[in-house]
Amino acid sequence: MMSIAMLLGLAWKSLIVAGLTLMLLRLARSRSAGERSMIAHAGLAALLVLPAAILFLPQWAPLPASWFAESAAPAVQLATTGGSAIDPAPAHDLQSP
């Protein structure tokens, strides 16, 4: 199933492909109609293949995941509570005298 984030990603990628196709068509104004048609058909084929490519090809992450993990706050801090997520007892209560 396609989520909202996947649909938004598909939308901006489609805009980029369509924009590049239109820019190439603009640059190829003086070329023959056959060449312009080939550019337009390649852009249309790329737009039609894009949803399947997003679903079936692996995701490309050019930045390391550790760059994003450092900025996120930890979900559970065991060092400050001294207990587990099930029984969060303070650290001083766990030590025996």
> What would the pLDDT profile of 21-41 be if each residue is shown by its tens digit?
999 999 999 999 999 999 999
Position 92 in a domain: no
pTM: 0.59
Q: Which domain holds residue 10?
A: 4-72
Interhelix angle 4-27/33-56, nearest 10 degrees:
160
Is the model more confident about 60 or about 20? 20
| Structure confidence by residue, pLDDT tens digits, 38-72 | 999 999 999 999 999 988 888 777 777 777 765 55
Position 94 in a domain: no
Count of structural domains, the chain: 1
